[in-house]
A and B are shown apart, each in its own frame.
Chain A
């Protein structure tokens, strides 16, 4: 196609914002998303009309995550910055050390069975504290399912908000993290520092 004039890019950005607003009013915006910068890299945030449905790290490949949302939730996916302003603000507050829990509504439709019960238990681990995979397995009522707890944490669709980073190895070492080992250390250090200062 012929090259796009710069004014076209401005016009298209404006038209896309207008489209997202109209689609939301129309009830046909099934998945709204945006990205935000954070101390653990760019984060993809996606929500349905029911609530926040997915948080993803850059290492998880945002394009691939959007494709999987199109496949599993709905292909009616649009970028809509303003619809995720509340989530972005709470994350900002969290990273600034001013927030310990999240209040935004959550849509847990990507979670089923054992994985769901594990992830639902995660907020029981207080800010600044950790629990071992074995302790989470016990809390979930399946003390022998330690490896399955690890898998459930690795596949947590709402990291940060549902704090799988607080689940560590029994010897106290951090263990793996979907956002990368370094991201897990950053989060644990943030919560330790802020928690100790309080």
Chain B
């Protein structure tokens, strides 16, 4: 028996939004979040009851983020394409996003899925491909760079997730 999908959104919505912001940046994060949950809603009835919902959502978010970035690259620049309501950026850590954006893509993904979403490295590897060891290395390299480039406090790993 599955819980109502609304409860999935309630439980995981904030984490998925944080992951989307880290991976595609604050402007495209809304689109990535919306496409992630719409796609998850479609597939939800077929999700096995014992599935790890958070890892499932991050896997979908990863695919959607890649799509969003690809689309943004194709439609580069046109100013008229600005969203109707530009999300307020106040209260968001734009410096962290800038520091994350400067990382190589794989490191950025590994940092987001391990440190923000709290997935263990074998599940991060499941999302990104490659081995758990490679995912651990990418996240560690990413965090090492962030320690140099980012002045603020780095997010602490998810309590349930992770041994860094």
Contact = CB atoms under 8 A, between A and B. Distances in A.
A70 B91 contact: no
A1 B118 contact: yes
Contacts of A67: 1, 3-4
A contact patch SS = helix
Given A5-B91, A76-B44, A70 B4 contact: yes
B13 A16 contact: yes
Nearest to B38: A22
A31 to B, nearest CB: 8
A78 B3 contact: no
Interface stretch (B29-37, B57-65, B124-132, B141-149): B29-37
Interface of B: 1-7, 9, 13-15, 17-18, 30, 33-34, 37-38, 41-42, 44-45, 87-88, 90-92, 118, 155-156, 158-159
A172 interface: no
Contacts of B38: 19, 22-23, 26, 28
B45 A15 contact: no
A193 interface: no
B156 to A, nearest CB: 7
A25 B9 CA distance: 18
B contact patch SS = helix
A71 interface: yes
A61 to B, nearest CB: 13
Contact of B4 (A2, A6, A7, A77): A77
A195 interface: no
Contacts of B18: 2, 8
Nearest to B91: A7
Contacts of B3: 67, 70, 75
